[in-house]
Amino acid sequence: MSNIVAIVGRPNVGKSTFFNRLIQRREAIVDAVSGVTRDRHYGKSDWNGKEFSLIDTGGYVVGSDDIFEAEIDKQVELAIDEADAIIFMVDVESGVTGMDEEVANLLRKVDKPVFLAVNKVDNGKRAENAVEFYNLGLGEYYTIASINGSGTGELLDALIEALPEVEEVEETELPRFAVVGRPNAGKSSFINGLIGEDRYIVTDIAGTTRDSIDTKYNRFGFEFNLVDTAGIRRKAKVKEDLEFYSVMRSVRAIEHSDVCLLVVDATRGFDAQVQNIFWLAERNRKGIVILVNKWDLIENKESNTMKEFERHIRKQLEPFTDVPIVFISVLTKQRIFKAIETAVEVYKNRSKKIKTSVMNDTMLPIIERNPPPAYKGKYVKIKYCMQLPTPQPQFAFFCNLPQYIREPYKRYLENQLRKEFDFHGVPVAVYFRKK
């Protein structure tokens, strides 16, 4: 589990530029995860070896200027509630604005580390102008220029210093299944349906209070921990439909789990907010099962509607379409145990270890039949491959010119791995290394 750091502030102060800079630094280290660029409001970063999750609240504010203020207040309150530290960004060009003062009022009451970052300070004159931000009453400030990164080092040093120690979750051997999704999709009912009145619970392990609640669960002879985000206390002030809310809630549960059961409300469809949570799980390389709930409420279902709905979901998931989709009704308990059985299969797929000899015997002939296309007149020869010793499936292919392998071929190999070894429901990472 890593700490959560939220970047807050009014629009157009440079939050996203700063966010992207931090995320890329991290991704450059771990082999950039290529794929479709998604709305990037959530990411992982690290500094001096300490990892943290980063949330850019800017991407969640929508609406005209007058709606902005209310939305920003809500987000700051949420960040205060959920994050371990807060970076409050302001802009030296426009100086202190009324909205900045309002955010500062909220942040002064907070019992968490708050870092005031004055952005767009790229010369001495502007550094002098930054002094006026002392008036916000948040103490020391950090001058940065997120466009070129100057000053971010000092800010991050201070941030890392202030982050609380993360309690390591006791490593149980039991698989952890997180039930995630947007509010009112039926997460609580799904869990209650599983547990039933006669409660199959062995023990209740309370996570840290504001984390999720873990329930040890035993059914059909397998045992696992159910990580429930639905039962967490709700803040009355926070509007249920706030997209940011679902994401903040899901981050911890997802990072905490092996497999995510993403509950989708069939009447609302596979909308942007649900997709956000899906890509969150994908980026964390968790197993994923999609549960389409409330299917019984869909009017005039022709024989092919379910197929259509499924096709629509897979279209949104491209390129990662190898994900189980189960249609359930928590009201009638239809297929809820099927959902758990599927999650167990996905868990097994995710923990699969393939012997290097088996992998080479299987993959090298496939590569021989369809080698990487030549690039700039150079031929790539893949000599050897192996699974990396990580908790989730990652594979290294060793070759003479790794830099010449393009995205489509990488995807081709990933699909072949899925076909040969069955990684249904699990993100697979493929890396090319110099032999």
| 56 labelled ligand-binding | yes
| 186 labelled ligand-binding | yes
| 13 labelled ligand-binding | yes
The pair of structure tokens assigned to 413 is 């190999």
| 16 labelled ligand-binding | yes
| 375 labelled ligand-binding | no
Which of the 8 DSSP states describes residue 146?
T
| 329 labelled ligand-binding | no
Strands 50-56 and 3-8 come out as: parallel
Strands 222-228 and 176-180 come out as: parallel
| 269 labelled ligand-binding | no
| 11 labelled ligand-binding | yes
| 383 labelled ligand-binding | no
Spatial separation of the C-alpha atoms in residues 27 and 364, rounded to whole Å: 29
| 347 labelled ligand-binding | no
Alpha carbon 392 to chain centroid, angstroms: 15
Long-range contacts, 322-326 (Cβ 8 Å, 24+): 322/418, 322/423, 322/424, 322/425, 323/288, 323/289, 323/290, 323/424, 323/425, 324/289, 324/290, 324/424, 324/425, 325/290, 325/292, 326/289, 326/290, 326/291, 326/292
| 321 labelled ligand-binding | no
| 57 labelled ligand-binding | yes
Point out which residues pair with 265 in neighbouring strands. Answer: 293
Find, among 244, 248, 251, the residue nearest to 74 by Cα.
244
| 343 labelled ligand-binding | no
| 12 labelled ligand-binding | yes
| 296 labelled ligand-binding | yes
| 149 labelled ligand-binding | no
| 185 labelled ligand-binding | yes
| 229 labelled ligand-binding | yes
Strands laid side by side in the 3-8 sheet: 42-47, 50-56, 3-8, 85-91, 114-119, 141-143
| 216 labelled ligand-binding | no
| 100 labelled ligand-binding | no
Distances (CA, A) of 337 to 254, 332, 333, 343, 412: 21, 12, 8, 10, 34
| 294 labelled ligand-binding | yes
| 295 labelled ligand-binding | yes
- Binding-site residues sit at 9-16, 56-60, 119-122, 181-188, 228-232, 293-296
- Binding-site residues for GTP sit at 9-16, 56-60, 119-122, 181-188, 228-232, 293-296
